[in-house]
């Protein structure tokens, strides 16, 4: 795969002095399949023309690495692909995660047929290079902060380039240029995203992060992130997800960054609501929790995976078993004023069919509003993939369930999974979780403090936002025929719980936002479970 190539005869010729051409480059993020985290049913209810929940940082980042060329960012989640339009570009790049792999191939095939020069990189290309055989001219595996500009420079100068690039050394994050946020169609996204660090110090068996980025967290300088946050603010974003694999992988530097974010937020009137991903040992550092709250972090995503210690040990997620209980750790994080969304997995070797009830009870009892539950999946190159391959327990022909569970059949795992989702996203279960953490006095105090610090003009904005959401949600429920079944539950909790715990316009706006969020989860679960459970039951 180390073969080198020069430009073919169809490409413009260069002078003998190898004059560098200013290239036209299009970078594509393929459309995601409908999913819980795409918020497909919620986005039409938000004010404005929102098409996607969050920007894909890879596009703007890759554009920032090649500042001497004309780059067009095409996110299929906010605009359709016009394949005729793509013919005008010198290079078309396609990136994507595992859930986008089929769409990546659907895009690359016509590009190949049209003779468009196509390159591929990103998360899935880094773990399954053979998947793209014959579909692209160049493939980038792993980090490409050095290899991408190296290739573009060669291509622009008519020099030889490789068919396969793999960066030799981990990226020095302090040298990464700013992402080209100015190239994004900001008004079509609900939130922006940026990256502070790469890598995670832990060793979870199923995780591809440590395969791609390693176990030594590497960070940008805190000043770099402040500059990027300022660009987000100036571009018009109101919220930002810091998409680190583990924001607190290096606690010392995370604290340094937070100490800069706090005065930046104060100076600009708290323009950005922030969220990130972190390991559960966040709960053991009171200073870190306080800094997150003061920096206007509203929530944190935590990989909990399972309440079963045997399963956590099995998958080498030892950080979740140290110290006191998971319940106690989550309560400390919530009492610091942070909402928790979390990842859960069913299908570990220590899971039998009782795991679905265990997961439901744990999620409900701990008020995990947005519970991202998935079946255990073996990603190529991970320790889990290699172990199950040796044991003959891979089902690679089935994209929905690619492993053979140890104490269930694949059908039993899938049926239990969909039944669990159906239970979690009934209106009652969802709103019970929502108000569960409001029973913590310290959480209520901090949320009231947050709302009290907001300026008067933000109060009017919040009221308008809540009224728009309520009006659009009413018509969506009416059109769907769910006004009685679902809308009545929203009203019940509004009068019974919301007026008790969340008075005021900010509480009203937040409650309406959560109802819209639930409507998406409810619709997606209803559509997803209907056919699947009928299939399982008939079998």
3-class secondary structure for 474-492? HHHHHHHCCHHHHHHHHHH
- Alpha-helical segments (H) within 345-493: 355-365, 383-390, 410-424, 427-436, 441-452, 456-480, 488-493
Q: What is the mean pLDDT of residues 149-165?
A: 96
Looking at the predicted structure, is the pLDDT value of residue 12 above 90? no
Give the chain's radius of gyration (CA, Å).
24
Q: What is the pLDDT of residue 532?
A: 60
Are 435 and 492 spatial neighbours (Cβ–Cβ below 8 Å)? no
Question: Which residues are CB-contacts of 422 (< 8 A; sequence separation ≥ 6)?
Answer: 525, 526, 529, 533
CA distance 277 to 279: 7
Q: What is the pLDDT of residue 3?
A: 43
Q: What is the pLDDT of residue 204?
A: 92
Q: Which range, of 128-142, 234-248, 354-368, 519-533, averages the lowest pLDDT?
A: 519-533
Q: What is the pLDDT of residue 5?
A: 43
Q: What would the pLDDT profile of 258-294 be if each residue is shown by its tens digit?
A: 999 999 999 998 999 999 999 999 999 999 999 999 9
CA distance 101 to 310: 32
Q: What would the pLDDT profile of 350-383 be if each residue is shown by its tens digit?
A: 999 999 999 999 999 999 999 999 999 999 999 9
In percent, the amount of the chain with pLDDT more than 90 equals 79
Q: What is the mean pLDDT of residues 234-256?
A: 95
pLDDT class of 48 with cuts at 50, 70, 90: confident
Q: What is the pLDDT of residue 531?
A: 58
Both tokens of 420, joined, read 């669990």
pLDDT class of 214 with cuts at 50, 70, 90: confident
Are 99 and 128 spatial neighbours (Cβ–Cβ below 8 Å)? no
* Furthest CA-CA distance within the chain: 78
Structural domains of the chain sorted by starting position, each given as residue range(s) with its CATH number in brackets: 4-166 (3.40.50.2300), 195-424 (3.20.20.70), 457-538 (no CATH)
Q: What is the pLDDT of residue 315?
A: 95
Residue among 312, 325, 346, 296 at smallest CA distance from 446: 296
- Alpha-helical segments (H) within 11-122: 57-64, 83-86, 101-114
Residue among 360, 254, 268, 253 at smallest CA distance from 300: 254
Q: What is the pLDDT of residue 37?
A: 77
Complete DSSP assignment for 10-38: TSPP--TT-PPP--EEEEEEPPPPS-GGG
Strand partners, 77: none
Q: Position of tokens 């899935």? A: 124
Q: What is the pLDDT of residue 215?
A: 85
Q: What is the pLDDT of residue 9?
A: 36
Looking at the predicted structure, is the pLDDT value of residue 500 above 90? no
Q: What is the mean pLDDT of the chain?
A: 91
Looking at the predicted structure, is the pLDDT value of residue 493 above 80? yes
Could you tell me the pTM of the whole model?
0.90
Q: What is the pLDDT of residue 456?
A: 56
pLDDT class of 17 with cuts at 50, 70, 90: very low
CA distance 108 to 136: 7
Q: What is the pLDDT of residue 33?
A: 82
pLDDT class of 181 with cuts at 50, 70, 90: very high
Q: What is the pLDDT of residue 537?
A: 52
Q: What is the pLDDT of residue 516?
A: 97
Q: What is the pLDDT of residue 209?
A: 85
Strand partners, 302: 278, 342
């Amino acid at each position: 795969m180390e073969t080198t190539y020069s430009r073919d005869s169809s490409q413009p010729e260069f002078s003998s002095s190898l004059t560098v051409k200013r290239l036209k480059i299009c970078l594509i993020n393929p459309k995601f399949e409908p999913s819980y985290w795409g918020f497909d049913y919620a986005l039409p209810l938000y004010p404005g023309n929102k098409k996607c929940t969050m920007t894909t940082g890879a596009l703007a980042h890759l554009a920032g690495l090649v500042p001497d060329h004309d780059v067009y960012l095409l996110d299929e989640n906010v605009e359709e692909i016009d394949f005729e339009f793509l013919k005008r570009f010198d290079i078309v790049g396609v990136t994507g995660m595992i859930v986008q792999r089929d769409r990546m191939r659907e895009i690359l095939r016509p590009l190949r047929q049209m003779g468009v020069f196509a390159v591929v990189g990103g998360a899935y290309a880094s773990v399954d290079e053979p998947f793209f055989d014959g579909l692209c001219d160049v493939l980038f595996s792993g980090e490409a902060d050095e290899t991408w500009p190296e290739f573009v420079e060669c291509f622009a100068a008519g020099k030889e380039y490789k068919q396969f690039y793999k960066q030799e050394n981990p990226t020095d994050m302090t040298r990464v240029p700013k992402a080209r946020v100015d190239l994004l169609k900001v008004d079509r996204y609900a939130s922006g995203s940026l990256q502070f660090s790469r890598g995670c110090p832990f060793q979870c068996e199923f995780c591809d992060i440590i395969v791609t980025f390693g176990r030594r967290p590497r960070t940008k300088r805190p000043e770099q992130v402040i500059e990027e946050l300022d660009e987000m603010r100036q571009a018009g974003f109101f919220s930002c997800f810091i998409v680190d694999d583990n924001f607190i992988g290096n606690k010392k530097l995370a604290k340094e960054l937070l100490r800069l974010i706090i005065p930046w937020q104060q100076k600009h009137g708290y323009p950005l609501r922030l969220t990130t991903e972190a390991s559960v040992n966040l709960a053991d550092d009171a200073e870190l929790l306080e800094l997150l709250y003061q920096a206007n972090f509203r929530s944190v995503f935590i990989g909990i995976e399972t309440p079963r210690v045997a399963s956590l040990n099995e998958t080498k997620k030892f950080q979740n078993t140290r110290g006191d209980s998971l319940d106690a750790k989550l309560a400390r994080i919530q009492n610091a004023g942070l909402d928790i969304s979390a990842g859960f997995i069913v299908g570990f070797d220590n899971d039998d069919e009782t795991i679905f009830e265990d997961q439901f009870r744990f999620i409900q009892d701990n008020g995990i509003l947005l519970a991202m539950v998935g079946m255990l999946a073996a990603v190529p190159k991970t320790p889990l993939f290699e172990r199950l391959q040796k044991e003959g327990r891979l089902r690679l022909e089935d994209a929905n369930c690619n492993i053979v569970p140890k104490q269930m059949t694949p059908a039993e795992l899938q049926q239990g999974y969909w039944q669990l989702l159906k239970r979690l996203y009934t209106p009652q279960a969802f709103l019970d979780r929502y108000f569960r953490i409001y029973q913590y006095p310290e959480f209520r105090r901090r949320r009231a403090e947050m709302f009290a610090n907001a300026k008067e003009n933000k109060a009017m904005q919040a009221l308008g936002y809540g009224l728009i959401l309520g009006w659009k949600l009413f018509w969506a429920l009416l059109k769907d025929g769910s006004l009685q079944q679902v809308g009545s539950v929203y009203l019940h909790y509004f009068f019974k719980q919301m007026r008790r715990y969340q008075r005021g316009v900010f509480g009203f706006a937040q409650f309406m936002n959560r109802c819209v969020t639930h409507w998406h989860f409810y619709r997606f679960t209803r559509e997803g479970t209907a056919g699947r459970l009928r299939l399982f039951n008939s079998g």
